[in-house]
Amino acid sequence: MIEMTHMAPLDLIGLTPLDHLPAKLALPYILYFDTPDTQAALLSLQNGVGKLVSQLPWLTGDVVLHTPEDLKTRLHIAAPQVPNAETRILQVKEYDRDQDIQSTPLQSYLPVPTFIPASDQRPVLRFQANVFPGKIVLAMCFWHNVFDGGGAGVILEALAECITSTETPITQSIASIHSGLRSAIGKYPSLCRTRLNHDAALGPPLFDTNTSAEQWTQIESAMASVVQTKRYAFSAEKVAKLKEACSMILPDVTTESTWVSSNDIITAVLAISVDRVLHPERANKQEVADFLMAVDLRRKVQLPKTYVGNVIYPIHDDIYFRDGQAEQKEDADLFHLTQLAVRVRNTLASMDDNLLYSASATVAECDDWTKLEGKPADIIITSWRGLKTYALDFGPTIGHITDFEPGFALVPGGCIFLPERIAEQGKAAPPWEVCITLKTGDDKALVADPLFSQILA
C-alpha cells in the first residue's frame, strides 16, 4: 500500500471557474493489462504511483469547499482531510480466476464511489489495482472538477513514464505549470471581450450535494437495473463512405463553403439514431430534441498539453430542423444527417477563446461557484478518442493497455467515443469505438436503425 505524501495544511490550490462546470463526480478510467507475472507488475505499479505522487503531491489531496478573502465560495485542492493511515492512493484487490474479469461488475473495480457527498472526503485521485492470476485491471478515479478527460489522460501518461523511466519530463511539466496556470485561468473573467448568454448551457447542479452516500448507492443501484451500456464499433471504411455521400449533397444543404469530418458524421448519426430509439414518438420531427457535446477548447486558448484542469464547454443544440426540408427529400435521412453534421462543424468552428472567458465570468459572478454547472441533455456526447491510451508503455512487467472502459454509465443517452486504437501496419484502419447507454432492451432497435446500421463494423 502507498501512503499519502504529506501536504501542508494551508497549501490550498483554488480551482478555476471552468473547473466548476462539470458535475461533481469521481469519473473512472478502467484499464486492462495482460500480466503473466502479476506480482512483479504490481510492484512496478506501486513504485510508479509512489514516484508520481512524490513529484505531484497535490494528487493525494482532497477537494474541499473554501471561502477565501474575496468571499466567493469555491472548490479548492487541500491536504487530505483524514489521517494518512486511513487512506491509500493505491488500493489492491485480488481475484482468484481470470474468467471472472468480464462478469465482475465494473463498480467493484473502483477505489471510490462515483458520487461523494460534500460532507465526505472527496479525493483528487485514487487508483485500485484489481489483480487476477494473469491480468490486472487498473481503475483510476479522478475528481472531475480537478481534471477533464484530457487532463486525466495526461496523468496516465505521467504514470507510465514514472514506471518506465528515470527521467520524467511530463510529470515535471505538470509540476511546474499546475498551480500558476490554474491561477492564471482563474483570471479569465477579466479577459472577456463580449458577455454571452449561457442560459442554455449552464444551470443549477444536477445532483443534490446533500444526498448521502447511502442514498446515492440506492439511486445508483436502481438506475443501473434499468439501463445497459454496450460498446459499438464503426467501420472506418463505412464512415468514410457515408461522409462522401454527405459531401456530395453539401451544396443542397448550405451555400457556404464548408466541409464535414468523420467525427461530425458519427456525432450526427449518434444524435439522430439514439434519439429515435429513446423517443420514437417524435414522429413529426418538429419537437425540441436537445443533445450536448462536451467540447475540449484547449487549442482555442493555446494551453500547454500538460495542463490537466478543465477546459471543456458543454454545447447544446437541437437534433431536428424546423424548416421541413429533410422530409421533402427523397433520402430524408441523408439530408437530415448532412444538415446536422454541417451544424456540428459550424458550431465547433465558431467556438473561440471568448466563449471560455465569458463562461468564466458567469461563474465568477456567483457568490458560490458550486451553484452553477453544465446542464444535462437527452443525449450527451463525449469524446475521449484523443487519449493516447493504447500508445502508452507501462514497462516490461505491466506492458501496454489491452482494453479501456469508462466506468460511468447511468443515464440513457450517454455516448462516449473511446480512445483510438493503434493502427497495425498493412491492416485496415481500426474502427471507431463508442460506448452507448440505453434503457435495457433498446439496443436491438439501435442496431436496426437505418442510419446507425450503415456504419456498424
CA distance linking residue 108 with residue 298, whole number of Å: 33
Within-domain flag for 2: no
Q: Mean pLDDT for the chain? A: 91
Residue after which a domain boundary falls, among 173, 207, 241: 207
Is 302 contained in some domain?
yes
> In the β-sheet with 2-3, what is the strand arrangement from edge to edge?
2-3, 88-94, 125-131, 135-143, 26-34, 403-406
Domain boundary among 139, 173, 207: 207
Same domain, 158 and 250: no
Q: Is residue 215 part of a domain?
A: no
Residue with cell 479522478: 142
Helices marked H in 366-429: none
CA distance 334 to 235: 18
H/E segment holding residue 224 = helix 213-224
If one counts every other C-beta atom within 10 angstroms of the C-beta of residue 253, the result is 23
Beta strand ranges found along 323-446 (DSSP E): 373-374, 379-383, 403-406, 414-417, 432-439
Residue closest to 140 by CA, chosen among 308, 329, 257: 308
Q: Is residue 23 part of a domain?
A: yes
Domain co-membership, 235 together with 352: yes
Distance between CA 65 and CA 73 in Å, rounded?
7
My answer on whether 188 and 320 are in the same domain is: no
Question: What is the tens place of the pLDDT at every residue in 366-411?
Answer: 999 999 999 999 999 999 999 999 999 999 999 999 999 998 766 8
Q: Cβ contacts of residue 53 below 8 Å, gap of 6+?
A: 2, 4, 5, 59, 60, 89
Cβ distance 128 to 1 under 8 Å? no
CA dihedral 272, 277, 281, 283 (to 10 degrees): 40
Q: Domain span at residue 381?
A: 224-455
Question: Residues 57, 59, 64, CA angle at the centre, nearest 5°?
Answer: 110
Question: Does 250 share its domain with 154?
Answer: no
Torsion over CA of 334, 337, 341 and 342, rounded to 10 degrees? 60
Cα(330)–Cα(85) distance, integer angstroms = 68
> Strand 379-383 and strand 227-234: pairing?
unpaired
Taking the C-alpha atoms of residue 406 and residue 384, their distance in angstroms, rounded to an integer, is 10
Residue 1, pLDDT > 70, answer: no
Q: Mean pLDDT, to the nearest integer, of 232-254?
A: 95
The 10s digit of each residue's pLDDT in 18-77 is 999 999 999 999 999 999 999 999 999 999 999 999 999 999 999 999 998 878 999 999
Task: Count Cβ atoms below 10 Å from residue 205 Cβ, excluding itself.
Answer: 15
Enumerate the H helices of 14-57 as residue ranges.
Answer: 38-55
CA distance 153 to 78: 22
236 and 323 in a common domain? yes
* Last residue of one domain, picked from the residues 207, 234, 262: 207
Q: Is the per-residue pLDDT at 7 higher than 60?
A: no
pLDDT digits (tens, 9 = 90+) for 321-344: 866 665 666 688 999 999 999 999
In this structure, the answer to whether residues 104 and 190 fall within a common structural domain is yes
457 pLDDT higher than 90: yes
Residue 309 pairs in a beta bridge with none
Are both 332 and 262 inside the same structural domain? Answer: yes
**Is position 440 within any domain?**
yes
Q: Is residue 293 part of a domain?
A: yes
**pLDDT for position 4:** 45
Number of domains in the chain: 2
Tell me the average pLDDT across 415-431.
Answer: 92
Same domain (yes/no): 401, 326: yes
Q: How many CA atoms lie within 13 A of 11 on its CB side?
A: 15
**Per-residue pLDDT at 172 exceeds 50:** yes
In a domain, 218, yes or no: no
End-to-end CA distance of the chain: 43
User: What is the pLDDT at residue 147?
Assistant: 98
Round to whole Å and give the CA distance between 23 and 206: 7
**38, 170: one domain:** yes
Q: What average pLDDT score do residues 218-235 get?
A: 85
User: Kindly report the CA angle at 269 between 263 and 273, in degrees rounded to 5?
Assistant: 155
Higher per-residue confidence, 275 vs 70: 275
Which helix or strand (DSSP H or E) is residue 272 part of? helix 262-278
One domain, residues 76 and 180: yes
Rounded CA-CA distance 44/395 in Å is: 8
In a domain, 216, yes or no: no
Judge contact between 242 and 260, C-beta under 8 A.
no
pLDDT at 206: 80
Query: Dihedral of the CA atoms 373, 28, 76, 159 (nearest 10)?
Result: -140
Q: For the segment 295-310, what is each residue's pLDDT rounded down to a tens digit?
A: 999 999 999 999 999 9
Which CATH number goes with the domain that contains 186?
3.30.559.10
- Three-state SS at 291: strand
Provide Rg for the chain, Cα atoms. 22
* Weakest-pLDDT range from 99-103, 244-248, 383-387: 99-103
How do 88-94 and 403-406 pair as beta strands?
A: unpaired
- Give the separation between CA 7 and CA 208, rounded to whole angstroms: 30
pLDDT at 5 over 90: no
Same domain (yes/no): 266, 342:
yes
Strand extents, DSSP E, 359-449: 373-374, 379-383, 403-406, 414-417, 432-439
CA gap 177, 267 in Å, rounded:
34
User: What global pTM score does this model have?
Assistant: 0.93
Q: Are 68 and 14 in contact (CB under 8 A)?
A: yes
Indicate the pairing of strand 74-78 with strand 13-14.
antiparallel
Q: Does residue 242 sit in the same domain as residue 156?
A: no
Give the rounded distance of the alpha carbon of 221 from its chain centre: 22
